[in-house]
Structure 1
Amino acid sequence: MSAPRCGGCACGPLPVIGARFAVIAHGQPGDPGALQPALESLAARVSAELGAPVAGATLACPRSLSALRGVQAVYPLFMAGGWFVSSEMPRRLRAAGVEGYGVLPPLGADAALPALGARLAQEAACAAGIDPAGATLVVVGHGSSRSGASADATRAFAAAIPHGFARVLTGFLEEAPFLHDLAPDGPAVCLPFFATNGSHMTCDIPEGWQRIGAPGPIAPAIGTTDPIPALIAAALRA
């Protein structure tokens, strides 16, 4: 028996599946079902890599959280271990009747991400005919006016990228320096330090990039790329 559908949610039936592991993302509070299919698809790919059942859920959809009763470990598909991971995720899981699980470090803390980010940025540059050696790499993170966790994680990621670009700039959506205030010198590649393809990827980042002249391509959100399921599976296996 699954929880009642939450207001405004378009998710389908979500029976309790008895998975040992779960991948949890933030989701979109204004549209709770928007990212649920993507999380289920990601969970299925992680499950195939791991050889064990894995569920996918978002904090925005209590119905999906209710299917996680009995999970042993939770993988936070977040870019920082801030308030949402340390406080709000446990609160919402507790409200959904989910207890007795362990929490792994979030995606953004994985040591494999900087090398993956470098590859994504290089591929985006090459596809656009841009020589990285003469271009700027713009790493964009969420940021927050209330906590430094997101900005700290974004800057740590940017500093660790073996990039091959002439320079690296870091900008944010919700704190200074804002993406729309950056001034890359010449061609540039935007590398989003984001976990999912929510509205920040579909609206906010493209709009901010346009405001500075769209000096090059926008790479995919790092959390949506092909190597991520194996990376998550490795963390769960360990």
Structure 2
Amino acid sequence: MHSTPTPSAILVAHGSPADPVPQQAWMQALAVRVRFWLGPGWQVRGTTLAMPGALEAAVAALPGALIYPFFMAEGFFTRRQLPKRLAEAGVSAPRQLPAFGHDPGMPALLARVVRDAGLTDGATVVLAAHGSQVSRASATITEEMAEHLRRDTGMTVRTGYVEEDPFLQDAARGIAGPSLCLPFFATRAGHVAEDVPAALAEAGFTGKLLPAIGEHADAARLIAAALQRA
């Protein structure tokens, strides 16, 4: 009688090369929360590309695991860097899922976060994202989510980026009435902790700054659902 293979998954984020330990620990904690939603029988590890040897150790511990990219966009890191690193670790044909930002439950999560913030009709949401001078991947998914937010909440939604036009400090400037800024980021790394608040301060933005969407309690539930579907 053959035993059923234990389902497993590895959650992979970018991390911070300058200070890899905090983000590595955060991903390990996220793995615990995801495993809670998956229930018994699953093995889940969280890691980053930035932590030396961590991805390789996770792959060695969970061969054949589903690979879940904890990134907001399908771009360079999910399509080239992560597969390259996995191949170097001996995974020739990884079962890699779509990035977190492309999850089909993301529009509903964003809308719920905005509504839970208590904004009234006529309020403005600034959706802050990474952006890029060389790729449209981040802007494409961000603009898609902004359109969902407009349709689902009926609120005014502006998009602003850290690394491309329209820059966040410009998008957040001159807003009258109730407002908030929602960072469309996976983790609270340098951009969310430093660049986003600095841009909002430069703009004179007086609305509320929410945590990164990847920090929301329901992020783990979305990931677990994606892993179960796979």
- Is TM-score (shorter-chain normalized) higher than 0.5? yes
- Equivalences for 1:153-232 in 2 at 5 Å? 153-161=141-149, 162-165=152-155, 167-182=156-171, 183-186=173-176, 187-232=178-223
Who is 2:71 aligned against?
78
- Give the 3-state SS of the residue equivalent to 1:159 in structure 2: helix
| Structure 1 consecutive aligned stretches of length 4 or more whose deviation exceeds 6 Å | none
**Structure 1 residues 45 and 71, CA gap change in structure 2 (3 angstroms):** farther
CA shift for structure 1 position 225? 0.6
- SS of the residue 2:208 aligns to: coil
Structure 1 unaligned spans of 5+:
1-17
3-state DSSP of counterpart to 2:68:
strand
Output the amino acid matched with 2:68. Answer: Y
| Length-normalised TM-score, structure 1 | 0.85
Task: Give the one of 114, 121, 133 matched to 2:114.
Answer: 121
Q: Alpha-carbon deviation of 1:63?
A: 2.0
Q: Across the two proteins, how many residue pairs are aligned to each other?
A: 215
Q: Is the 8 A contact 2:175 2:205 kept in 1?
A: no
Per-residue deviation, 1:99: 4.0
Show the 5 A alignment for 1:85-164: 85-124=78-117, 126=118, 131-161=119-149, 162-164=152-154
Residue 28, structure 1, aligned to residue 21, structure 2: no
Mapped to 1, the partners of 2:154 and 2:54 lie a distance apart of 41
**Equivalent residue number for residue 3 of structure 2:** none
Q: Cα offset for 1:82?
A: 0.6
The 3-state SS of whatever aligns with 1:35 is helix
Distance in structure 2 (CA, Å) of the matches to 1:138 and 1:82: 23
What displacement does 1:97 show?
3.6
CA distance in 2, matches of 1:99, 1:55: 19
Structure 1 SS opposite 2:116: helix
Question: C-alpha distance in 1, partners of 2:99/2:187?
Answer: 13
Report the RMSD for the aligned CA atoms in angstroms: 1.6
Give the helix-richer structure, 1 or 2: 2
1:62 to 41, 52, 55: 52
Partners of 1:163 and 1:79 lie apart in 2 by: 21
Distance across 2 between alignment mates of 1:164 and 1:133: 8
State, as a whole percentage, how many aligned pairs show the same letter.
42
SS in 2 for 1:27: coil
Distance 2:174 2:148 in 1: 20
Task: Describe the SS at the equivalent of 2:22.
Answer: coil
Amino acid at match of 1:102: R
Per-residue Cα deviation, 1:1-29 (whole angstroms, up to 9, x for no partner): xxxxxxxxxxxxxxxxx982111011111
Q: Deviations over 1:170-206 (max 9, x none)?
A: 1100000000112343132101110011111110111
Shift of 1:164: 3.4
* CA–CA separation in structure 2 for the residues paired with 1:19 and 1:34: 27
